Structure 1
C-alpha cells in the first residue's frame, strides 16, 4: 500500500483503534479524534505515535482519508467538514477491505468465538510467517510485506459483506443481534452471502446445522469432533492444565496438539487454525509449538488472583457464550465454587433469549444479576433483570451498592460476564478484596 494519511473519527473505538495501529505499522500517517474520556485503547494509540485529538473540524487537512466510525452519523461536525473539503470518507469495513486485497487474507466470522479464534490464528501465524492482524479486542498490528492478514469479520449490520478474503473461518451461526436480524434464517443468509465472496476456501464448524448446507462457490472444509468432518479432533483429554488432542485431515494424522486454553470451544478453535495452516502448507510442528504458547485474548477468560479468589473477566453476553465460559471454568477449577456476576446486554437480546439465559446461567453454583445494560439505541424494554432471576434457582440481584455480597465467598471463582460496562463491578470488587 502506498503511504497515505488517515484520520479516524471515533478513533478510541475498539475496532477503530486496532485498525489505526495496523495502518500506522504499515507506514501510513495516522491520527484521529474522539470524546474526551479515557479508554483502554487510548494509551496504546499514543504509544504507537498516533495523536488522539478532541473533535474539531479544524483538525481536518487536505489529502486526508477520513475513516468514519460506526457510531458517528453524517451530521457529525467533522464529517460535515470533510464533505465540504471534498475529502475521501470511508467506513471501517471499507478500510479493512483495502488491507484484505493486499494479502493472503483469512476472515474469521461467527456469532460466537470469532475474537478468540482470530487472536489464536494471529498469534500462531505471526510466529511462523509475516502476518498482519486485526482482532476484536482492540489489538491490531501490521507488518510490511506480510504474507497473511488475519482479521475479525463481524456480521453485525452485515459489516462483513464488505470483505472478499482468500479464506474464511465460520465458527457458528446463531440468532444474535435481534435489533438487526429478523431470525436465524436471516443470519444464515448473511453468512452465505459472505461465503460467496470468499476466493479460495471456507473452514466451517461441522456440527452447526446452518453451516452444513452452505451454498457457496469455493470448497468448504468442515472441522469438528465427529466422523463426518474433514478435519477432526479425537482422543481429547481435558485437564485443569488445558487440553490435548489428535488432529486428522480425513485419514491423515496431522499430529498431537496441546493448548493451555479451556472449554471444548478452544479445541475447535485450535482445529480451525490447524486446518488453515495445513491448506497453506505451513510446517505443523511449528503450529504445534505456537498453539501451546498462546495465552488468550482480552476479555475472553482473562484471569487474575486476588486474596484467595480467582477472578475471571469474560465478554460472554449470549446463552451459548455463557455456557462455553462456564464449561471452561469447570475444566480449569473443577473443585472450586463457581460464582457468576452477569450483566444482561440490551433489552432486545434478553427478551429474545430469556429462557436460554436462565438455562445457561443455572450451570453455575451461584448467580448474581446486575441491572440491564441498555444500548444507545434502546434505553428500556419489556423485560427486567428480575425476570431472569426468577428462572435461576437461588440467584440474586446485585448493583454497585451491594457488592459486599461477593465478599462472603472464599477460595472460589467469580466470573464477571457481559458486553456492557461490567468492568465497573469487577473493578470495585477487586478494590474491596484488596
Structure 2
C-alpha cells in the first residue's frame, strides 16, 4: 500500500506516471535523432562528433543511475527524484542556447545525469510496491507505455524540423521535464519509508554494488543486459545515418520506420506482461536472448552478402529490438528480487549496465562508421553473441 501520498492517485494512474518518468531516456534520445545530420551541418562538425553527444548522454545516464540508486536506498525515492529532474530541466535550457559542439556535449552530459534519476527510480518504486512476478508485469506495462515515446518522439522531432531548427527539440524537452517535476510534487508519494530503510549508512548502500557484481549469476545477467541494450543503441545511434544518408530516405520516412520498431517493442512488452503469469522469468529471459542473437547474426549476414536494403534490414532490427523489454523487465525484476534490501542499487546496476553498454556501442558505431550499414549491423551482431555467452555461462543460477 502507498505511503503518505500528497494526492490520491486514480486507478492505474501510478503506472502511467511512472511510465512517463521512465520515458526520460527515449524522449531525450529519440526526439533529436532526425536532427543529427542537421546539427552536424549547423555546427560544422563531422557526423562522429554529433554521434558523440549520444554516447556522452548514455554514459551520463548510466553514471547518474549508479549515484541515485543507493542514495535513494538511504534517503528515499522522492527527494532524490526531484533533484534529478531539476538538473535535467536546467541542462535542457542550456542545450537550447549552445552554439558549439563542445557546449552541446557538456550540456547533454548533465542533462543525462539528471534524467537518470527519473528513469531508474520509476522502476525502483515498482519494486517497493509489488512482488517479483507482478513487478515484472508492471515493468512490462510501463515499458509498453514508455514505448509511445520512441514512436512519437522521432515523428515530433521531424515535424519540429519542418518549422524550426534543432534547438526547438530541446525546448520541448525543457517543457517535458518541467511538467514531470510538477506531477511528482503533486502526485507521487514516498514509497520507501524510514522504517524500511532502517539504519543503513550511505557507505553501506554504496557498498551493495560490490556484493552484486561479485555474485556470478548477477554479473552474468548484468553483462547480458548491457549487451542487448548495447545492440539497441547501436541501432539508435546508427539508424538515422543508415536510412537517411546511405539508403536516401527522407527524415519523415525514417521516422515512420523508426516508429515501426517502437511498435515491435510495445507489442513485445505487452506480450511479456501476460507471459510472466504463465512462465518463469528465467525462461522468458533465455528465450529473448537467443532470439536477439539470431537477429543480430541475420543483420551481419545481410550486410556482408550485399543484400541490405531498407526493409530487409528492418526485419532484423524489429526482431532484435522486440527482445529488449523481455530482457529489460524480467532481468530487472529478477535482480531486484535477489537483493530486496538494496533494490535501488540492484535496479541501478542493471540500468547503468544498459546505458553503459549503449554508450560503448554508440561509440563503436561512430568509430566504425563508413557510410554504409556495416557498423550498425556488426555491433548488433556482436552484442547478441556476447549476451548469449554471459547469460548461459553465468546467469543460469538466477
Q: TM-score range by the shorter chain?
A: under 0.3
Rg larger for: 1
Q: What is the TM-score normalised by the length of structure 2?
A: 0.25
Q: What is the TM-score normalised by the length of structure 1?
A: 0.23
Task: Kindly indicate which of the two structures has a greater share of residues assigned to strand.
Answer: 1
Task: Kindly indicate which of the two structures has a greater share of residues assigned to helix.
Answer: 2
